[in-house]
Amino acid sequence: MQLEPEKSGDGTLSVVKSRLDSGEGGDVAQGSLKRHYENLEKLAGSLRKLGMDEREVDENLMHVFKEYERELTNYINRI
């Protein structure tokens, strides 16, 4: 799986990436997580262009990822 190396300050993206690297949940969960990682990465870039600093970008990514992660964990725990 080829993913961009993490940028400094990308705390949330590194959390997502570590879950990807763990390979948990099988192909279906990994496919979903990879798509989500890519979409979060795009969002990070767009928020930076909007003038947010790294801390704000990371807070907003975590804001979005937190619930997704909860649902994903529920799914993984049940397969």
Residues engaged in binding another protein (CB under 8 A)? 28-29, 32, 35-36, 39-40, 42-43, 46-47, 49-50, 60, 63-64, 66-68, 70-72, 74-75, 78
Q: How far is the CB of 18 from another protein (least distance, A)?
A: 18
In DSSP notation, 4-24 reads: PPPPTT-HHHHHHHHHHHHTT
Q: What is the CA radius of gyration of the chain?
A: 13
Nearer to another protein by Cβ, of 1 and 50: the residue is 50
CA distance 41 to 34: 11
Nearer to another protein by Cβ, of 1 and 27: the residue is 27
Q: How far is the CB of 16 from another protein (least distance, A)?
A: 12
Nearer to another protein by Cβ, of 1 and 49: the residue is 49
